[in-house]
Amino acid sequence: MTTILADSFTASLAKLTNDEQKQAKLTAFDLQTDPDRPGLQMHRIEASKDPNFWSVRVNRDLRIIIHKTGDSVMLAYVDHHDDAYAWAERRRIEAHPRTGALQIVEVRELVEQITAPAEPPRQPDLPFQIPVAPVTSNLPLFAKLSADEILSLGVPADWVEDVRSASEERFFALANHLPQEAAEALLDYAATGILKPAPVAAAAPVDHPDAKRRFRILEGHEELAAALDQPFEKWAVFLHPSQRSLVEKDYSGPVRVIGSAGTGKTVVALHRVARILREDPAARVLLTTFSEPLAQALTRKLAILFGTHSPLLDRVTVSSFDRAASDLHALMTGRQTYLISRETLRGLLRDAASAVGLTRYTPQFLLSEWQHVIDAWQIDSAEAYAAVPRMGRKNRLGAKQREELWTIFSEVRRQIRAKALMTTADLFTAVTEHFTRRDQKPYSHVVVDEAQDLGVAELRFLRSIVPDRGDALFFAGDIGQRIFQQPFSWKGLGIDIRGRSFTLKVNYRTSQQIRRLADLLLPANVRDVDGEEDERKGTISVFEGVEPVIVVAPDEDGETGAATAFLQSLLDAGMPLREIGIFCRSNAQMARAARVAEALALPTASSLQGERLNDAILIGTMHLAKGLEFRAVIILACDEGVLPLSSRIAEVADEFELDEVVATERQLLYVAATRARDHLFISGVAPGSEFLDELIGR
């Protein structure tokens, strides 16, 4: 008999205690083995409108709700006896009459009156708080749509009239009672004004693209165990149709998946790795990202997706860009790589300029020109420097200026090599040149997460370590989250993604209120150098929350007091410490972050090592926050001179670089803010960062 897992079962399982979860899983395994076994004590739920709902006894009080039809059994829900029965009595499972997708539908007449919007949850009253006005409207959102059009979006027939009369203020309360694909389609229409056609119906209701995001057919015990082992990681089992299509599609060239924070780009990347490994027994995949902590997080997620002991894990390498290059270089040469530090490089540039009497060029300009032009493009001659396009650089250099500057840069190159040192770009280039000359490549595919932070040398490196095949390169990232690299042309390096760049629009991680506030930090559309555009308009969050808190305090003590009160309110509401992150711009402000936790005598962690295993608050810089997610985020020390960081501003060489620094600092705040799912607190000392003015409209 076929076993089907519903996402409502994994969600309800996650709410049980650890012991209850273990007992429920054992009963689920028994059901899968022999659903007609007498010891399961099945009882039809007579009060349900759906005659196919049955209860299965787990223990004296715990019940699994199953849905039996023909030769299939669906694991639908699990809870304590009365709550489990109440859930089944208020629902039915059926194919939608228009779309054909299998749905779990709440019975309209059994739902309490929802015409009045629920009182929104309120944040605590905090000192020095700047009000953030909610943006709502009492006008009907869907009055222009006919009942037939609303039905075509997957809305159950008995909910169509509720939708037609819903205003923005009460829509999210209503959306909680609708199938998720219907709520998202309505949100998409509200955001864009465009009614998009539903996915094409499948042969079987459970195979419809919308159904696959909620239901999964399980082949055996091992697959059921993997699906239930980490129920909070629902993405490991259920994919949105827009995500699934990107995972399963065949491509003729490099692919890029973009979208704002929380839209599931990493989910798509991980499932793409899984698809490659399952379909090609000879595939060897590099899954890579910009930092080792993020690589470790990806490793943990892959283990959840595959199962800890899956042989597929043996054919995937997960590491940062730098680590991947360093490991290959060690295999090539058999020796350790020594990289030059930024401060040593700055000293070499200064001394070389002084030696030839070219003191009119500032140290800031020399270092910037080295990083963004000479080293990035691996310029090795005066002729190459004369020809390289200095994309976006406002300081225009004539032929004579480039000639005299090359006397500085060539001497620095000579000294770096004489000391047996390398820059990071040198390391990437050495590996690139090695594998460009060879037909045998170390990997069949490369999948990149956080691809917006790739530099010139990194992109060349990744292209060189895979064969020349259409589907070898898969990139996932958000142009709006670029915090490290200056922009450059991918097409100019032979990575042409035109026609294969896709934007995800559904935000699962961040509440409507937090997403709306964070979006104020970025332009509505972000365009890359090759003209590919990330159109942020139309991105929707699938759930509501509370308005973010912004505090501008007169001094650090006032900021600490407000942040401590906010943190205490989270603890009073029962939030686990591991679901809270406290972040600041740099290590110089870390003491301010630590002071908030210390005021409440709370344990903290300062790295990703085991922070999810121990009940502690993670404290770190905004860079550490990248790629993580929390139920609540506290961002401190958003002061004038701290954000944007004054030391970065002092080092800019021209107007273009100033614009880039300010943009990446703004994007850094965006990254930190969008790590929050439900609660966000941002603070600074008066007058505060200029970015706070953008958030509060000051």
Q: Do 450 and 497 belong to one domain?
A: yes
Q: Do 282 and 310 belong to one domain?
A: yes
Q: What are phi and psi of 405, to 5 degrees?
A: -65, -35
pLDDT digit string, tens, across residues 10-19: 889 988 888 9
Alpha helices in 141-279 (DSSP H): 147-152, 160-164, 168-175, 180-192, 209-212, 221-229, 241-248, 265-279
Q: Do 562 and 484 belong to one domain?
A: no
Task: Quote the CA–CA distance of 228 and 329 in Å, as a whole number.
Answer: 40
Task: Quote the CA–CA distance of 287 and 320 in Å, as a whole number.
Answer: 8
Greater confidence (125 vs 281) lies with 281
Q: Do 214 and 248 belong to one domain?
A: no
Q: Do 457 and 573 belong to one domain?
A: no
CB 66 within 8 Å of CB 76: yes
Q: Do 552 and 644 belong to one domain?
A: yes
Q: Do 572 and 647 belong to one domain?
A: yes
pLDDT at 663 over 70: yes
pLDDT confidence of residue 418: 93
Residue with tokens 């990202």: 289
Task: Quote the CA–CA distance of 597 and 619 in Å, as a whole number.
Answer: 9
The range of the structural domain enclosing residue 621 comes to 546-696
pLDDT confidence of residue 654: 61
Q: How many domains does the chain have?
A: 4
Task: Quote the CA–CA distance of 518 and 521 in Å, as a whole number.
Answer: 6
How many CB atoms neighbour CB 427 within 10 A?
20
Over residues 624-638, mean pLDDT: 90
pLDDT level of residue 167 (50, 70, 90 thresholds): confident
Average pLDDT, the chain: 85
Q: Is residue 646 part of a domain?
A: yes
Q: Do 689 and 566 belong to one domain?
A: yes
pLDDT at 213 over 90: no
Over residues 537-551, mean pLDDT: 82
Q: List strands edge to edge, sheet with 285-289.
A: 316-320, 285-289, 445-449, 473-477, 255-259, 501-504
Q: Do 552 and 456 belong to one domain?
A: no
pLDDT level of residue 539 (50, 70, 90 thresholds): confident
Over residues 286-292, mean pLDDT: 93
Q: Is residue 131 part of a domain?
A: no
The residues facing 620 across adjacent strands are 583
Q: Is residue 191 part of a domain?
A: no
pTM of the predicted model as reported, rounded to 2 decimal places: 0.76
Q: List strands edge to edge, sheet with 72-80.
A: 42-44, 53-57, 62-69, 72-80, 2-6, 215-218
Q: Is residue 70 part of a domain?
A: yes
Q: Is residue 348 part of a domain?
A: yes
Q: Is residue 282 part of a domain?
A: yes
pLDDT confidence of residue 53: 96
Over residues 504-520, mean pLDDT: 86
Beta strands in 312-397 (DSSP E): 316-320
CATH number at residue 30: 3.30.2310.20
pLDDT level of residue 227 (50, 70, 90 thresholds): low
pLDDT level of residue 612 (50, 70, 90 thresholds): very low
pLDDT confidence of residue 146: 92
pLDDT level of residue 476 (50, 70, 90 thresholds): very high
Q: Is residue 586 part of a domain?
A: yes
Task: Quote the CA–CA distance of 227 and 345 in Å, as a whole number.
Answer: 50
Over residues 206-234, mean pLDDT: 72
Q: Is residue 690 part of a domain?
A: yes
pLDDT at 562 over 90: yes
